[in-house]
Chains A and B, each alone.
Chain A
Amino acid sequence: DVKVTQSSRYLVKRTGEKVFLECVQDMDHENMFWYRQDPGLGLRLIYFSYDVKMKEKGDIPEGYSVSREKKERFSLILESASTNQTSMYLCASTPPDRYIGNTIYFGEGSWLTVV
């Protein structure tokens, strides 16, 4: 089974702190994603990466950056956390593009509270 692991499930950070959310997948997937989930808004794409050191902005990249130094690891960085970044963050990955029926695999989520 595909496993996407988010190492921190629950975090509480102070306004202005730098925050790192880590994600690791064990299936050699090329594509990795960071989503943010808020009630009534569904999942919104923050950033995605289709290869090592490659990244593309999603729909809401402001206030976030990402790092992908190794294929299996995709990190989300909040340079200076703010209270409006309190949310559930979901990491996901997908296999190579060759098969359009591939689904997307999610981690368990990281609940971030910024106080």
Chain B
Amino acid sequence: AQSVAQPEDQVNVAEGNPLTVKCTYSVSGNPYLFWYVQYPNRGLQFLLKYITGDNLVKGSYGFEAEFNKSQTSFHLKKPSALVSDSALYFCAVRDIGGYNFNKFYFGSGTKLNVKP
């Protein structure tokens, strides 16, 4: 079965510093990986995805993510954090196998706190 793990419940970073939110995955077959952001009392919004190709993918709001097949990781990064980046971040993997095609599996979420 597909799964993702986000090992950190919370990440604290100062504004202007680089940030990393970690995600590791377990899949059978090729991974199709996504990052989403959730602001308080809102639904999840798509940030970026890795399907194939370049291991470094760029997304919305200056975020990027690095796919590492050998370490089965897909960490979310941003070179310079903003206070407005403070939110809950979810990593997800899409299942494309047979019966479970189109199901998305989400990590437990990481709360990012960016302090001024």
Q: Which residues does A use to contact B, with CB under 8 Å?
A: 4, 31, 33, 35, 40-43, 45, 48, 50, 58, 90, 92, 94, 97, 100-101, 103-109, 111
* B106 & A94 in contact (Cβ 8 Å cutoff): no
Q: How far is the CB of A51 from chain B (nearest CB, A)?
A: 12
Interface SS majority for chain A: strand
Other contacts beyond A40-B108, A100-B94: 14, CB < 8 A = A42-B107, A42-B109, A43-B44, A48-B102, A58-B103, A90-B43, A92-B104, A94-B102, A97-B102, A100-B32, A104-B46, A104-B104, A109-B41, A109-B42
- A40, A104, A107, A109: which contacts B9 (Cβ < 8 A)? A40
Residues of B in contact with A, size category:
20 to 34
Q: How far is the CB of B77 from chain A (nearest CB, A)?
A: 19
* A101 & B107 in contact (Cβ 8 Å cutoff): no
B14 at the interface (CB under 8 A from A): no
B96 at the interface (CB under 8 A from A): yes
* B102 & A4 in contact (Cβ 8 Å cutoff): no
Closest residue of chain B to A35, judged by CB? B106
* B51 & A106 in contact (Cβ 8 Å cutoff): no
Pull 7 A–B residue pairs with CB atoms less than 8 Å apart, ordered by A: A35-B106, A94-B102, A104-B46, A106-B44, A106-B45, A107-B43, A109-B42
B74 at the interface (CB under 8 A from A): no
With A101-B49, A108-B42 known as contacts, the answer to whether A42 contacts B90 (CB < 8 A) is: yes
* A103 & B34 in contact (Cβ 8 Å cutoff): yes
Which residues of chain A are within 8 angstroms of B49 by Cβ–Cβ distance?
Answer: 101, 103
Which residues of chain B are within 8 angstroms of A48 by Cβ–Cβ distance?
Answer: 102-103
* B43 & A109 in contact (Cβ 8 Å cutoff): yes
- A35, A97, A104, A107: which contacts B101 (Cβ < 8 A)? A97
Which residues of chain B are within 8 angstroms of A43 by Cβ–Cβ distance?
Answer: 44, 90, 106
Cα–Cα, bound, A48→B32 (Å) = 19
* A45 & B103 in contact (Cβ 8 Å cutoff): yes
* B106 & A42 in contact (Cβ 8 Å cutoff): yes
- B32, B43, B103, B109: which contacts A106 (Cβ < 8 A)? B43
Cα–Cα, bound, A25→B49 (Å) = 22
- A31, A41, A108: which contacts B102 (Cβ < 8 A)? A31
